[in-house]
């Protein structure tokens, strides 16, 4: 073969080999470029925390006393000394009833007393006149005994007249209707001239003693169990004493400035509602709270060494809660947890499924899947639980 042809073939071979080598290098580079490293996710370590649970319950307020003001005698309303919403003191005059028959009875009783006293004087004179005659034997003992019986009869008549007067004065006093307690006057359905009797359906008014106000609310059976387990004490009285002061939120969303305390818990669950009734007492020095008003009672429950996780770190599926737990190989695993119904702000209180030292993905419940490998980015405990420390 000529030299020229041989050189040409050798050059083509070298060119082809170069193309193959370059092609192989290119394929290797593309293959390495397609391999993605594990995604970064923030991870924190579970550590026991101290926290306070705040749970609100709808409540209805009632004054310490709410008393119907009813007359004890019949009569027409002659005067009204108060208005609806007035603050009154115990013994303060509220109404004056017109009942002339009781005034007349008083007058007649006084007259009867005066007459009885005059009769007694006459009977005493007769006795004093008869006695010397009997002593001298001029008249018989019978005459003296008769005069003495007459005197006793007149004295009895005086005593009866005095009793009648006392009763008449009491009845006349009932025409002045006063407040039995300190409190606030309710509605007044009657006006001047209205006839009022002891059997009238509606009271003259009501007086509510609201120096202390009771808030009534209910807990369902599960909430009651959580409450009983979280408050120290072996008896109901001990648990009530160990319960921290409770807060009250008013109907407009504002916080009531005075703290209250739990006083009673119903010992029997309502079979219809499945709930237990609670009563909390709040001082009401400026009468801001009124009977019949509504609000929300907040019962704080202090926890120590509780397993807490941010709510954003968990997800709910078919009524169950799950988190992603990181293992030693940086693989995440679905872990079911049990949480309390009560929450500590933005945190779940975990009762089972996690322990101290577990590593949890902070925020990846939407993008992560089970057995995914990640690159953990550790978070400090202070950053995770900073809301609890504010």
pLDDT tens per residue, range 221-234: 887 887 777 778 88
Residue 131 contacts residue 216 (beta carbons within 8 Å): no
Q: Verify that 180 and 94 share a domain, yes or no.
A: yes
Residue 27 lies in a domain: no
Q: Which of 275, 302, 329 is the last residue of a domain?
A: 302
Domain hosting residue 182, numbered range:
71-99+175-202
Q: Verify that 316 and 193 share a domain, yes or no.
A: no
Residue 13 lies in a domain: no
For 333, the token pair is: 């695993």
Q: Verify that 198 and 221 share a domain, yes or no.
A: no
Tokens 């008003």, located at residue: 293
Rounded Cα gap, residues 377 and 44, in angstroms: 8
Model confidence at 9, pLDDT cuts 50, 70, 90, reads: very low
Residue 8 lies in a domain: no
Note the pLDDT of residue 8: 46
Q: Verify that 194 and 216 share a domain, yes or no.
A: no
Q: Verify that 88 and 195 share a domain, yes or no.
A: yes
Q: Which of 251, 282, 302 is the last residue of a domain?
A: 302
Note the pLDDT of residue 211: 87
Mean pLDDT of 234-263: 89
* CATH number of the domain to which 79 belongs: 2.40.50.100
Residue 346 lies in a domain: yes
Task: Write the CB contacts of 74 (distance below 8 Å, at least 6 apart in sequence).
Answer: 99, 195, 196, 197, 198
Residue 31 lies in a domain: no
Q: What is the pLDDT of residues 84-127, one digit of tens each?
A: 988 899 999 999 999 888 889 899 999 999 998 998 898 888 88
Residue 242 lies in a domain: yes
Q: Verify that 239 and 189 share a domain, yes or no.
A: no
* pLDDT over 60 (residue 25): no
Q: Verify that 308 and 383 share a domain, yes or no.
A: yes
Q: HSE-up of 16 (CA within 13 Å, CB side)?
A: 6
Residue 131 lies in a domain: yes
* CATH number of the domain to which 341 belongs: 2.40.420.20
Tokens 């092609």, located at residue: 23
* pLDDT over 60 (residue 21): no
Q: What is the pLDDT of residues 49-87, one digit of tens each?
A: 988 887 889 999 998 888 899 998 899 999 999 999 888
Q: Nearest 5°: CA angle at 60, between 58 and 65?
A: 155
Residue 34 lies in a domain: no
Number of domains in the chain: 4
Note the pLDDT of residue 143: 81
DSSP 15-40: HHHHHHHHHHHHHHHHHHHH-PPPEE
Q: Verify that 297 and 225 share a domain, yes or no.
A: yes
Q: Of the spans 174-178, 342-346, 384-388, which averages the highest pLDDT?
A: 174-178
Q: Verify that 294 and 231 share a domain, yes or no.
A: yes
Note the pLDDT of residue 390: 65
Q: Verify that 258 and 157 share a domain, yes or no.
A: no
Residue 261 contacts residue 245 (beta carbons within 8 Å): yes
Q: Verify that 168 and 192 share a domain, yes or no.
A: no
**What pTM was estimated for this model as a whole?**
0.58
Q: Verify that 314 and 239 share a domain, yes or no.
A: no
* CATH number of the domain to which 255 belongs: 2.40.30.170
* CATH number of the domain to which 139 belongs: 1.10.287
3-state secondary structure (DSSP) of residue 348: strand
């Amino acid at each position: 073969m000529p030299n020229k042809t041989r050189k040409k073939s050798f050059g083509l071979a070298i060119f082809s080999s170069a193309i193959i080598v370059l092609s192989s290098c290119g394929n290797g580079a593309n293959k390495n470029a397609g391999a993605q490293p594990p995604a970064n996710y923030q991870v924190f370590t579970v550590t026991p925390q101290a926290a306070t649970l705040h749970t609100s319950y709808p409540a209805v307020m009632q004054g310490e006393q709410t008393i119907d003001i009813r007359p004890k005698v019949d009569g027409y309303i002659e005067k009204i000394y108060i208005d609806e919403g007035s603050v009154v003191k115990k013994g303060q005059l509220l109404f004056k009833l017109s009942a002339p028959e009781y005034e007349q009875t008083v007058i007649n009783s006084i007259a009867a007393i005066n007459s009885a006293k005059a009769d007694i004087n006459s009977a005493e004179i007769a006795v004093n006149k008869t006695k010397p005659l009997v002593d001298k034997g001029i008249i018989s003992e019978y005459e003296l005994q008769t005069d003495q019986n007459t005197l006793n009869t007149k004295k009895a008549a005086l005593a009866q007249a005095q009793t009648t007067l006392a009763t008449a004065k009491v009845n006349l006093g009932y025409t002045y209707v006063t407040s039995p307690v300190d409190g606030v006057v309710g509605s007044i359905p009657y006006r001047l001239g209205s006839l009022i009797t002891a059997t009238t359906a509606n009271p003259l008014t009501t007086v509510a003693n609201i120096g202390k106000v009771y808030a009534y609310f209910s807990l369902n059976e599960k909430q009651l169990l959580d409450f009983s387990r979280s408050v120290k004490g072996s008896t109901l009285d001990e648990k009530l004493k160990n319960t921290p002061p409770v807060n009250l939120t008013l109907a407009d969303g504002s916080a009531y400035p005075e703290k209250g305390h739990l006083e009673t818990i119903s010992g029997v669950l309502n079979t219809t509602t499945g709930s237990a009734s609670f009563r909390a007492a709040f001082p009401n020095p400026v009468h801001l709270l009124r009977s019949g008003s509504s609000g929300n009672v907040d019962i704080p429950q202090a926890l120590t060494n509780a397993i807490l996780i941010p709510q954003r770190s968990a997800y709910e599926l078919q009524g169950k809660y799950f988190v992603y737990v990181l293992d030693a190989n940086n693989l995440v695993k679905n872990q079911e947890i049990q949480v309390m119904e009560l929450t500590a702000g933005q945190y779940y209180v975990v009762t089972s499924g996690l322990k101290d030292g577990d590593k949890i993905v902070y925020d990846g419940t939407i993008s992560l899947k089970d057995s995914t490998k990640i690159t953990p980015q550790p978070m400090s405990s202070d950053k995770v639980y900073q809301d609890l420390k504010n």
